[in-house]
Amino acid sequence: MMRLSVRGRAARCAAVVAGFFLLVNSGWGYYYYTYFNSSSAPYTPIPCRFDLTALVNNTVPFFISGTGPSAFYPGDSFPAVISQITAAANIWNNVSTSSIRLAYGGLYNPGTTQSAPGIQIEFSDDIPPGLLAVSAPETFGNLATDSNGTFIPITLSLMVLPTNLPNVFDGPSYSEEFFVTLVHEFGHTMGLQHTLASSVMSTYNTTSSTKASPLGADDIAGISLLYPAPNYLASVGSISGTVTLNGAGVNLASVVAISPSNPAIATLTNPDGTYQINGVPPGLYYVYVHPLPAPVEGEGSPDNIFYPHNSSGVFLAPNTGFITQFYPNTQSPSPEDLIAVNKGAVTQGINFNVTPTSSPGISSVRTYAYNANAQTYVVGAPVMASATTTVAATGEGLLQPYTSSSTSYSVTPGLNVGLLGTAAEIGNLRTYSPPNPYIAVDVTVANFSGPGPKHLLFSTPGNLYVLPAGFSVVDMPPPVISALAPATDANGNPAVAIAGLQFQPNTQIFFDGLPAVIEQQSSNLLIVTPPPAPAGYTAAVVALNPDGQSSLFLKPGAPSYTYGATAAPFALTAGPSLVVSPSVIPAGGSFTVNVQGTNTNFIPGVTTVGFGTSDIVVNQVTVVSPTQLQVTVTPTVTAPSSNITVTTGLEVISQALGSQIAATDNPQQ
């Protein structure tokens, strides 16, 4: 069934800037939460970000409210939600060109205050209709400087999720929507704002992200420029220039570097129209500029951007009244318009003189591909090579306004849908019947176009809209899981057999949010060792393919697997409990906590321990035996109200220090 969610995401950034200093930032990027140290040109953007020097191992701990959600989809559970949150954090941890890392620090009691930087994830019923979640980095007015420039340190980030999950999300915690939302919100907590490159930090209305491939090149550049790994900046190049309208600089114009063979990377202009796109891999790129789109439901500003403000505290609103155009001032880019980007160098002088318009034009377009076999539309718009696929699109300006007297939809006069440089045919532009406000086209991709994202051009007379990653070329349909059953691997160890279709060499299998170990593989059968979970735990099983497709594409309801009572080693003993000594951790210096378990199965390298606050740093977890842990911690302040959370796979045991044990494994609420 075709779905359209118009629910948006919002983000917030808190900052009080007490003073500014004129320093240069190497991490020039404009979809961060940005402040300027002046009220006139030249503008030096100052982003807010975590101070890595204040973190242990560049790692920001995140903590999840122990209250959990109040309502789940049938079969869903709090441990499953926790596992998905952790998996979403790991998406960012896997960016090799970024130095920042996220680590699960256990459950916390709402109201817990902490002095060290961290991220708190809470569940609230105060999120108004129209929003999926809200997140924000929070800062005070102090500035800091490191080798990457001046910044405003994030002291705490909040991620607020709805407490009633079925009321807001289209599916359980394993769903595409919930997972991509989590990845998006983590981006906000680290300092990323919305972008317009169809990546995970795009607004929900334009993202092409999927659970199997959530990050785009723009996301990777954004986080890597904010927290660059060694040698990253020398490995990429930049494009710079100015966007003017009638001779004046255009504020918050989106400038995008894009090529048929590369995903898009974007930035926003400064108040004087200057811009610099950093983090661009070497290669040839088209460059285009477009206005921020008008807000849609759930958004309060163009692209839901938190505007930058200057040294006078004035928020600097965008100029959105101009027409999209490619460099050099054309709407019909040709190969000779490609710009060369070299590593460690800035390609300068890519300037635009844009044309004003009062028409809102086309914006906020999202696409879906029709899978004829399953008779369903899927996100990410996967299109098979050498085949014809229907791609549906929804967005602003594609259709004529629909009124109460309308009986059908009509395409905006003069609308044309084309491609940026890809060998493909697009035709049969049409609409659907009410109440489905979509257009559709048939896309036939040449066999030699290569896999990956392709970019769509939507044009009307005198105007243009570019949708990066409008569809993605794939070599085979999505993976399908048809059956699961207990099995043994080649060594006779207990395992799970997963039968299905379209499994690829790098297919990943997830039990809720945790990966299984694939022991044997063919295109239609996998033998896997599941992650540990308590006996009786029921996990949703999802296959993710490296081409961005998942088994949820065709069957949004994932098959489940219930851990048996005798399927050791991955089925854990039910009814675990803990005795922690001492129950109060003194402040100062390294300290060892002994955790004695009953009915526990602690596993070296798998069992983790957290105390629900960034003020207790876990240095080492030693598994003495399946029932005993020794945890070395460094408390910065006395935290008598903290919890201890011991997590082994999908088993979560949490208790308040010094109180009775509360096991929370698999409540199946």
Partner 1 sequence: MITESTAIVYGTVQPSFSAFRGAMIYTHYQVRITNFYKGSSVFGYLDLAVPGGVVNGVRQAFAGSPTLVPGQSYFLFLWTSKSGLTQIIGLSQGLFNVSTNASGQLVVSRGATTETMLNSAGQVVNDSNIKMTMAQMVSKIQSVLGGSGQ
Cα–Cα dist 198/381, whole Å: 12
Straight-line distance from the first to the last Cα atom of the chain, in angstroms, rounded to the nearest whole number: 27
**Cβ(549)–Cβ(539) below 8 Å:** no
Which of 51, 59, 67, 140 is close enough to bind partner 1 by CB under 8 A?
140
Does residue 394 bind partner 1 (CB under 8 A)? yes
Does residue 213 bind partner 1 (CB under 8 A)? no
Does residue 136 bind partner 1 (CB under 8 A)? yes
- 465 Cα distance to chain centroid: 24
Does residue 13 bind partner 1 (CB under 8 A)? yes
Does residue 397 bind partner 1 (CB under 8 A)? yes
Sheet holding 643-648, edge to edge: 608-610, 643-648, 651-656, 661-663
Cα–Cα dist 653/667, whole Å: 12
Q: For the residues of 312-380, what is the DSSP string, one character each? A: T--B------B--EETTTBSS--GGG-EEE-TT-EE----EEEPB-S---SEEEEEEEEETTTTEEETT
**Cβ(348)–Cβ(240) below 8 Å:** yes
Does residue 360 bind partner 1 (CB under 8 A)? yes
Does residue 297 bind partner 1 (CB under 8 A)? yes
Does residue 455 bind partner 1 (CB under 8 A)? no
Sign of CA dihedral 563, 564, 565, 571: negative
Does residue 125 bind partner 1 (CB under 8 A)? yes
Q: For partner 1, which is the closer residue by CB, 461 or 589? A: 461
**Cβ(573)–Cβ(614) below 8 Å:** no
Site string for partner 1, 14-33 (x = CB under 8 A): xxx-----------------
Q: Which two tokens stand for residue 6?
A: 């118009």
Tell me which residues in 81-120 interact with partner 1 (CB under 8 A): 110-111, 120
Q: How far is the CB of 569 from partner 1 (least distance, A)?
A: 40
Q: For the residues of 58-95, what is the DSSP string, one character each? A: TEEEEEEETT--SB--TT--HHHHHHHHHHHHHHHHT-
Does residue 340 bind partner 1 (CB under 8 A)? no
Does residue 130 bind partner 1 (CB under 8 A)? yes
Does residue 314 bind partner 1 (CB under 8 A)? no
**Cβ(296)–Cβ(205) below 8 Å:** yes
Tell me which residues in 593-632 interact with partner 1 (CB under 8 A): none
Q: Which two tokens stand for residue 466?
A: 């570019």
Kind of pairing, strands 363-371 and 388-396? antiparallel
Which of 282, 283, 295, 494 is close enough to bind partner 1 by CB under 8 A?
295
Q: For partner 1, which is the closer residue by CB, 55 or 168? A: 168
Does residue 131 bind partner 1 (CB under 8 A)? yes
Which of 126, 312, 375, 660 is close enough to bind partner 1 by CB under 8 A?
126
Q: For partner 1, which is the closer residue by CB, 318 or 548? A: 318
For 655, the enclosing helix (H) or strand (E) is strand 651-656
Q: How far is the CB of 323 from partner 1 (least distance, A)?
A: 16
Count residues contacting partner 1 (CB under 8 A)? 62
Q: Which one-letter amino acid corresponds to residue 272?
A: D
Does residue 299 bind partner 1 (CB under 8 A)? yes
Does residue 452 bind partner 1 (CB under 8 A)? no
Per the DSSP assignment, residues forming a β-bridge with 289 are 255, 325
CB neighbour list of residue 421: distance below 8 Å, 6 or more residues apart: 259, 260, 286, 333, 335, 455
Q: Which two tokens stand for residue 461?
A: 């007379």
Does residue 138 bind partner 1 (CB under 8 A)? yes
Which of 19, 230, 435, 505 is close enough to bind partner 1 by CB under 8 A?
435
Q: Is 355 exposed, middle or buried (0-12, 13-18, 19+ CB in 10 A)?
A: middle
Which of 74, 129, 413, 605 is close enough to bind partner 1 by CB under 8 A?
129
Does residue 158 bind partner 1 (CB under 8 A)? yes
Of 273-281, 394-402, 478-486, 521-529, the window that binds partner 1 (rule: CB under 8 A) is: 394-402
Q: How far is the CB of 439 from partner 1 (least distance, A)?
A: 11
Which of 216, 395, 421, 626 is close enough to bind partner 1 by CB under 8 A?
395
Q: For partner 1, which is the closer residue by CB, 379 or 571? A: 379
Kind of pairing, strands 376-378 and 363-371? antiparallel
Q: How far is the CB of 545 from partner 1 (least distance, A)?
A: 28
Which of 154, 266, 399, 527 is close enough to bind partner 1 by CB under 8 A?
399
Which of 6, 497, 501, 568 is close enough to bind partner 1 by CB under 8 A?
6
Q: For partner 1, which is the closer residue by CB, 5 or 599? A: 5
Cα–Cα dist 101/109, whole Å: 23
Q: How far is the CB of 297 from partner 1 (least distance, A)?
A: 5
Q: Which one-letter amino acid corresponds to residue 391?
A: V
CB neighbour list of residue 438: distance below 8 Å, 6 or more residues apart: 2, 4, 392, 393, 394, 398, 431, 432
Which of 296, 417, 420, 554 is close enough to bind partner 1 by CB under 8 A?
296
**Cβ(222)–Cβ(190) below 8 Å:** no
Does residue 134 bind partner 1 (CB under 8 A)? yes
Q: How far is the CB of 123 from partner 1 (least distance, A)?
A: 11
Q: For partner 1, which is the closer residue by CB, 352 or 368? A: 368
Q: For partner 1, which is the closer residue by CB, 140 or 591? A: 140
Does residue 12 bind partner 1 (CB under 8 A)? yes
Q: How far is the CB of 2 from partner 1 (least distance, A)?
A: 9
Grouping H, G, I as helix, E, B as strand and the rest as coil, residue 225 is helix
**Cβ(530)–Cβ(505) below 8 Å:** no
Q: For partner 1, which is the closer residue by CB, 105 or 548? A: 105
Cα–Cα dist 112/120, whole Å: 9
Does residue 476 bind partner 1 (CB under 8 A)? no
Cα–Cα dist 135/148, whole Å: 25
Q: How far is the CB of 80 from partner 1 (least distance, A)?
A: 22
Grouping H, G, I as helix, E, B as strand and the rest as coil, residue 458 is strand
Which of 396, 442, 489, 519 is close enough to bind partner 1 by CB under 8 A?
396
Q: For partner 1, which is the closer residue by CB, 183 or 258? A: 183
Which of 160, 392, 578, 657 is close enough to bind partner 1 by CB under 8 A?
160
Interacting residue ranges for partner 1, rule: CB under 8 A: 3-8, 10-16, 110-111, 120, 122, 124-131, 134, 136, 138, 140-141, 156, 158, 160, 168, 170, 193-194, 294-301, 304-306, 360, 394-399, 401-402, 409, 434-437
